[in-house]
Amino acid sequence: MRQAPSQKAPPKAPPAFHVLVKPTGAVCNLDCKYCFFLTKERLYPGSPFRMADDVLETYIRQLIEAHRTPEVTISWQGGEPTLMGLDFFRRAIEIQDKHKKPGMTVRNTMQTNGVLLNDEWGAFLREHNFLIGLSVDGPRELHDAYRVDKGGHGTFERVMRGLRVLRKHQVDVNILTTVNAANADHPLDVYRFFRDEVGTEFIQFIPVVERDNETGFQEGTKVTGRSVTAEQWGRFLIAVFDEWVRRDVGRVYVQMIDVALGNWAGAPPTLCVFSPTCGNALALEHNGDLYACDHYVEPNYLLGNIKERPMVDLVASPSQRRFGRDKLDRLPGYCRACAVRFACHGGCPKNRFIATPDGEPGLNYLCAGYKAFFTHVDRPMRIMTWLLRKGRAPAEVMRILAAEETKEAKGPAVFAGARRNAPCPCGSGRKFKQCHGRGSPP
């Protein structure tokens, strides 16, 4: 068999990029009602939907060759990747060890529904330091609204069993939660469930915006009833933030909030959704087909097959660079003039299908929610940025906000005569010079 081509990075290739690899394609053991990917099976009629060994090795080898960084992340997704079985992933680790460069670290992540996890899986994932993204939509009644099996039955108990396996084997876990019509009006029930009952430290919230059409592609302007509305999305994020910023800074990490803080602090973008451009987060199907993005596994966005053309050439191709640049070039004037553009950058292109108030196309369906959220968090974000620049912990924002609320309740006169070494009148237990007398945040 002819070996797939090796590669030398073309001039426009990024030094690193992200690929969601789907070894089972769209095949899954669940039938989640909002899943946009299940319909992708239609793209490969008659396929066994299992990644062959030659495709697996070609992918890993080319990904490692293409990276000009000391660390490479291999991200397994689906469908449901655990359907491939443990032997497939044992082979993947062997191939990684075979091809990784001297001094290079290869990390593995996996997004899973958790249903098939057992002790053998747990031991393997721990041994090889996998980071697991576990899909859970909240407490039982909210999770089971849409996350069902092929028989239409809820999966909550089976997912919690999988989580217990991961905890038993001390596997690192992030919770991935879709925000949809069923749970969008219950933000604190969802957040407190994860914080207090599940005990998670890392949460990602993903808005469900499901186009209502026959193709399953990003077409049309109508959404299904399972989709979150812009207003619900904004209220959800604001409620979670208000709880988090008063209680959980430094101990619970919410991706949306972390990314926003980075944007306020002027750090390089870490999430394509809120970056000025995109194009460096692609999707690889089970047969080696590489697509522009996980949300655009569609014929018009097929870049090619890595068995026929090196992956890095496809990533650096004019069509893919244009795909990424379009995120900025097609940004409506309404967005360009927006006060929170620096935090949002128009959001994900897949959701830019409504018109601006003056009729220009390309506004994000979730714009009103994002705008409400980013406006609401502005002052706490500025405080945390101020703390970071002074070499202090962002978690101090909790004390600052509590003290301000106390001051507002008690009135400013109570602080007027406070001595530097005396207990702060706010009741924090700290000396005044270490509390309200420590300098003023923005």
Q: Are 219 and 350 in contact (CB under 8 A)?
A: no
358 is catalytic: no
Q: Tell me the C-alpha distance between 248 and 198, whole Å.
A: 15
Q: How many C-beta neighbours within 10 Å does residue 158 have?
A: 18
Residues 6+ apart with CB under 8 A from 331: 345, 346, 362
Catalytic residue among 185, 294, 358, 378: 294
CA pair distance 381, 378, nearest whole angstrom: 5
CB–CB of 392/399 below 8 Å?
Answer: no
Helix (H, G, I), strand (E, B) or coil at 107: strand
By the 8 A CB rule, do 280 and 272 touch? yes
Long-range contacts made by residues 118-126, C-beta under 8 angstroms, separation at least 24? 118/165, 119/165, 119/168, 119/169, 120/86, 121/82, 121/86, 121/165, 122/165, 122/166, 122/168, 122/169, 122/171, 123/169, 124/86, 124/89, 124/90, 125/166, 125/169, 125/171, 126/169, 126/170, 126/171
Kindly state the DSSP code that residue 198 receives in the 8-state scheme: I
Q: Would you say how long the chain is, in residues? A: 442
Which residues, in sequence order, are bridge partners of residue 206?
A: 178
Backbone φ and ψ for 171, nearest 5 degrees, come out as -85, 135
Q: What element of type H or E holds 373?
A: helix 367-376
At which residue do the structure tokens 């970071």 appear?
A: 388
Catalytic residues: 294
